[in-house]
A and B are shown apart, each in its own frame.
Chain A
Amino acid sequence: MGELTIVLPQNAVVVLCSTIAPTAAVNLQKALDKVGKGHQLVDAPVSGGPSRAETGDLALMASGDDAALARAHAVLRALSAQAGNEINLHLIRE
Chain B
Amino acid sequence: MSIIAKDSGIVCDESRLMGFPAPMSAAAEQLFLSAMGAGMAREDDGLLIKQYQGYGAPSVAETGTEEEEAAKAKELSVTPAGKPKKVLFVGLGAMGKGMSLSIKKAGIEVLGYDVKDAALDAYRQAGGKTADDLLSGAKDADVVVLVPNTAAQAEDILVGLDGKGICTGKLSIHG
Contact = CB atoms under 8 A, between A and B. Distances in A.
B57 interface: no
B84 A9 contact: no
A contact residues, range: 35 or more
B62 interface: no
A85 interface: no
Contact of A17 (B115, B140, B145): B145
A9 B153 CA distance: 21
B contact residues, range: 35 or more
B117 to A, nearest CB: 15
B75 A18 contact: no
Contacts, number: 177
Contact of B146 (A16, A34, A50, A70): A16
Nearest to B152: A24
B73 interface: no
B78 A73 contact: yes
B145 to A, nearest CB: 5
Contacts of A90: 75
A91 B138 CA distance: 25
